Amino acid sequence: MIDNASVSIDMEMFYFANKKDSPLENLYTALKSAAGRGVKVRIIIDSSFYSRSEKSSDELEGINNITIKKIPVGNLSGGIMHAKYFVVDGEVLFLGSQNFDWRALIHIHEIGVKVKSKELANTFLKIFELDWNFCESSNDADLLAMEKSKEKFINSKNPLNIYSSYYGDVKLYPAFSPYSLTPEKFSYEEEEIVKIIKKTKSKLFIQIYSFLEKGENSNKKFTSFSKAIKAAAKRGVDVRLILPDWAMKKDAVTFLKDMSLVKNVQIKISTIPQYSGGYIPYARVEHCKYFISDNNTSFISTSNWEYDYFYESRNASVVIKNKTVNSELEDVFMRDWNGPYTETIDIDKEYKPPKRN
């Protein structure tokens, strides 16, 4: 995508973490090369994470045609800029769980989606432009102007219909978080997830990085997903969840053990072996954020299932209605479900999150 860019690359990414001689170094080289041939590269990263952690984006600072801005989402809505997507030439979108982190490409299990569509790209670019302006000002005039605009955007009520020679007819639309930074004309992630779960008739397979009813650093309750899942299980839906061992924090353990006791709900915890070449911090984990409903609906996101990701932090997702896409994601899920690194949650086991740093 980057090598094929001819006009623009607009990227909104939680953070950058490069390492020499890693696969991500190739992407850095590609971005520099694109800028060198005149492609305008705009990058938004989270200001708070940058201030306290990775500074790898500095490598791209000062390069002609590359502009980097830092968005203070903490000041705007109390969270972080957690989205991970980019748009090339206003036409091709890539969105997924991957941060621009060298470990994400070789030491972390991620899921992403690439879509070629000017209409979908334009919807994401509207959010990008909104956040680009938020980098400089906390004024919500742009957000209000977008709400009053007569322009139509792709959303759940106005989905995009595209045809692929491989996938056939595909219906899709995006959804965003948080509520306070997302214009009313756009679909909201939490609402769309609950809506899909409520419509599920036979199976709901979820792979998510974390799932809590109460935020780790907040007492605010977040029960819309758990209630919808329990209701689905009660009407006979086969519900399966995969979470990594990193998710097994104190509040999560109790909650997930209780969820596993619900009839028709099965939960497995994954543990990825450490790298044979030595310990790597913040790696060797499943970081995916997706789920499938029945045989035709898929949800690919950047959000973890906790209160702040939907109410305080910027996130984005794509809802896809297509049997082949659904089948491909189910294959990924089942390979993990039946693989050597997942085990059914044990209500009698004491879980502790592993070392990460």
Query: Measured at the alpha carbon of residue 163, what is the angle toward residues 162 and 165, in degrees to the nearest 5?
Result: 155
Question: H or E element: which one contains 171?
Answer: strand 168-177
- Model confidence band, residue 218 (pLDDT cutoffs 50, 70, 90): low
**Both tokens assigned to 58:** 């500095």
Report CA 123 to chain centroid distance, whole Å: 17
312-354 pLDDT, tens digit each: 999 999 999 999 999 999 999 999 999 999 999 999 999 988 9
87-112 pLDDT, tens digit each: 999 999 999 999 999 999 999 999 99
226-249 pLDDT, tens digit each: 999 999 999 999 999 999 999 999
Length of the chain: 357
* Strands 342-344 vs 265-270: parallel, antiparallel or unpaired: antiparallel
- Model confidence band, residue 215 (pLDDT cutoffs 50, 70, 90): low
Residues 6+ apart with CB under 8 A from 122: 90, 153, 154
Confidence (pLDDT) at 216: 62
Confidence (pLDDT) at 185: 93
CA distance 125 to 7: 14
Report CA 234 to chain centroid distance, whole Å: 28
Q: Is the model's pTM score more than 0.85? A: yes
> What is the distance between the terminal CA atoms of the chain, rounded to a whole angstrom?
32
> Would you call 21 helix, strand, or coil by DSSP?
coil
Confidence (pLDDT) at 54: 86
In terms of DSSP H, where are the helices of the chain? Answer: 23-36, 47-52, 73-76, 102-106, 118-134, 141-148, 189-199, 224-234, 250-260, 307-311, 323-337
Question: H or E element: which one contains 183?
Answer: none
CA distance 258 to 233: 14
**Both tokens assigned to 178:** 């948080």
Confidence (pLDDT) at 318: 98
- Core vs surface per residue 109-137: b (16+ CB within 10 A) or e: bbbbbebebeebbbbbbbbbebbbbbbee
Confidence (pLDDT) at 147: 85
> Would you call 136 helix, strand, or coil by DSSP?
coil
Confidence (pLDDT) at 139: 86
Rounded to 10 deg, the angle between the 118-134 and 141-148 helix axes is 150
Number of neighbouring beta carbons within 10 Å of residue 235:
10
pLDDT of 275 higher than 80: yes
* Strands 40-46 vs 66-71: parallel, antiparallel or unpaired: parallel
276-308 pLDDT, tens digit each: 999 999 999 999 999 999 999 999 999 999 999
- Model confidence band, residue 195 (pLDDT cutoffs 50, 70, 90): very high
**Both tokens assigned to 6:** 């001819």
Write down all domains in the chain, each with its CATH number in brackets: 8-344 (3.30.870.10)
Number of H helices, E strands in the chain: 11, 19
28-52 pLDDT, tens digit each: 999 999 999 999 999 999 999 999 9
* Strands 265-270 vs 108-109: parallel, antiparallel or unpaired: unpaired
107-136 pLDDT, tens digit each: 999 999 999 999 999 999 999 999 999 999
> Would you call 59 helix, strand, or coil by DSSP?
helix
pLDDT of 217 higher than 70: no
Q: What percent of the chain has pLDDT over 90?
A: 91
Q: Are 240 and 204 in contact (CB under 8 A)?
A: yes
